[in-house]
Structure 1
């Protein structure tokens, strides 16, 4: 809901604040596992034990102290070199304390070297943008050409990442951005430097009783607010994305005056307590980044364009992402077009072009422990509920169903026409239309047991990749499908298993699966778009060595498709199951399916290995795979236990993979990996180091 307030548009969103939610002391203590963990106060104090530390109200306050020091030394306003890509709120707060010289962040060293008054710059500020891992290259190169004061702005880092080595280096940090305090920062500088007068005058001066009580009240109010945020599905009002990089995104007033107080007593107490254990906070912030990145991927942002940093997520902005991000922002995700730029960079054309280019390429999301799955779930529900797609599920005949082929998406033979008809005497075929295009198909098997109707959809998949569908669109389609099927069929149970993830799960279904010990289906997939050498390289060393030894056996490998010989392998497989006492594939269903299959639906291929070193060929092992659309699937294998030769299985499976690749298949499905019930077979398949895929959880719905 949009709310007009002071001519600014705001929307309801999830409560992601600049600081994590406040936790009561007992709660924090119960969740700490590391024996070496300590408060952030102690951690910083220990890390910088060879330097001086001043605890201030913010990184900006720390910066003002440094500027004041330089000003007193120079007896004039100093000149500060600041990146053009920098927060204007900070610049506005120091503009009366110093002269500002901008440098180009796209090529900072050259920009500083070419500066007309490089020698007149008293200090240069290096910004650690949104919590980068390091900027050592820039720092080291800068020190070679510049011998003045360097200020490291580490406001976006929650814990220290570098030390200082000279009197000309300063580090400023902002603790309130990462920990549950209303305000707080610190200034780190050399022990050889004396800042007594500057600190006492502008940080530790506490004479105003009214101000002290006001600060205490603000801190208590902040804590209460954070407790509410942490214990409720908090919704805040956040501003829409700004499109003008020079527009002030807030009405916050800034002042150049130095505040006459240090960090508040309550904030200092909190950062010294277990509430602010740095390791716990760091882990929670990392978890929050993962939650939000999953939300972005779900909405259609590529994982390759997400950069996880310590303060949040940086997004490489592309044209196709604009609409997605606007939707996310509209439904509650607080995105930042950061930073607001200073108007003075417009004077320099090259500086303006380069800075605007960078600004237009980036977007940011603050991620800390105030974010959880439930709050992101609110955004997902809002998006799904506010999108009205024209989705139709149309019943078709078996011939049209057979003619619909998936182009580039992985699919399962369990949805082939011949398998469906073999599994059930009665089945139904459908195609899925989104707007004017067909985006998938599915078959339903009907069974009646105990006078009750069962409708089974096994390993259904939508053509997601071919039609570039987003995760949230897939969820919408499956939600609509359930509604459609409830009205389509008589009362019974709809059992749905999909290859891709869907939004059909809930706590009741979760507990039912747990009660009946129903586990998700997992398989391994080999990407046949890769070159043979790449597939071999990805294998585990032991499997690859076994294949090399097997290929040296000079075996005679035969392949065939005729039904008579394949039925013989089925007989061998049935005997092998009885001897070794394992379940395997349902033999009667397998025979029926193979008998009903046709080459334009499913193609069966058998490979057999013979020992040709003797006068007569001796069968050593057999394997059968099926080809359905662009996916080949390993069905079964059987070796002669009496004439067992090592590495036969490796050779036969490799021959199957190469055959499928030459036939134009894009995927090779290893046919299920069950490490609990079939650890030996699973270990063999995992030796190929496939991409592990787990289907969505089984969904059971009453129609």
Structure 2
């Protein structure tokens, strides 16, 4: 596989819409923060040191966790700062750090907390922040691995340092987020945006007395052109300079010379930085989804590799979206060279960090032990999940593991439902499938496959739309299976692809299967002949209605529950109905409101078709509307779709008065209780989009259901064409 240790550059990004520079800072800061832009995170640390020196007249003493990259410390050392280290623990969760701080027998000026591997939960930071405040120490959050501000990142520190140049393919760029009121006031930084860049850079250049690499404008033009050519070539051939053996040698033997000879890069941003970054940030949600899939693919490779070599490999921080840290465990692992073995099969395994020399020589330090036992697998949007799966398949072929087999399967193709019923998504109900077919001028077939050996059943509604001589076949949220194993489901998908995705017969099959996003399901889909289309992954949350009402209510987020209590105390009139006109009334109000804020609503034609289907005597769908009135005035309503043992929040609306009194919480809660009374097993919140609709996502998360993500949309590719797709 091509080795991409960081994202690749594409000239096509210049065609993307650019984010205005005035609003660019919002991805890394709050509205009241001041943001300075410098070339590297190491220069941002240096800028903090310069400010501290200007305020106190003394070169500040820094305390970093010992598991840190030496590159980040060199500018501080050249400036004359003393750098000390503390132990963040073998699990990097900052346990017992306060005791280390209390045992320190010298004054401390700046304390650094590192958000390792892009994790956003920030364990232990609240205690460290409290200690820093009490001791009047500046707290700096090192968020170099974090994509954009999220979770607890940036909430506690006087400063937060982000490194967009590590996460996006830009030539330079570090965002220094400043919350410290003394610094903002003393240096008159308030209400400045990107003007800060040049001011900070000039100040730093003066402080370093010639150690900074500064270039003329003509040389910068040549640098920009050279960078574009180099990065364009890397997109074609990968990181050809990568070598596992070289980086292992460089990690510990060359640091003395490196620190002595290293010239500090210019603090100023390269000319291309903002031009590219402003075009990248609009695609953050796309990149994040790609990172999740790459991580899942690496996890599947680690699983296959450990089984083949019979060694125990532990994945640390498995939710990381920057690097995936893995460790060998057990007696056998001590004799096994994991890094070399992975690099031999083409995996771009990394050793990180490039430890400071005093740590690399301290055999008692947990950071050194962690470094020696840990290996990193890179995660970025340029790494191909298909290339990783090709490595997985080669490993399993060496192990002579059998791939998918189809045995004892009986296929039944029907156009009508035959009464088979078990919990399945609303969009795989017969009523929804018919409604979608009617609104898209397509025909509908139901494919049922039953295994004669164990009576497991798989089925899917498929919409067939003709385009001249071509048939486009699609399955939304399907196929679905009743019991059985995931392997059998993917086996069925293979059969389904051969029947409805035969390109020689001008048949094309696209599916969005109701399968969880994980490495195993992604790999089996790939083996079965399916290739990803687009970057969408449906995500939502489910509530188990078999729980007691008290338990469901007790699980609600405290703030959400308090808002529900306030709404209940208003004694509004609650009315439940399945009347067609009542559903249409709420839909039309919802449509009008969404249109007023520039958001597209559910198709009106689809809603009308669903109502027609739901009104049929043998329908497998009920659209139930919950409405709230205040003094005979409708102030809110939600539509719940009930089908085949599941309930799904479809859409809702509330007036200004309703929103002020939290009627949506009241309506949704009563919808959950009603679904429970109907004997349904699950309540689905109808989708969660953390990036596109963060406010709605936060509201739905308040119910504390079980969140899930599905694998996405796939195209079936016949075997003859798979090497090209």
TM-score (norm 1): 0.50
Larger radius of gyration: 1
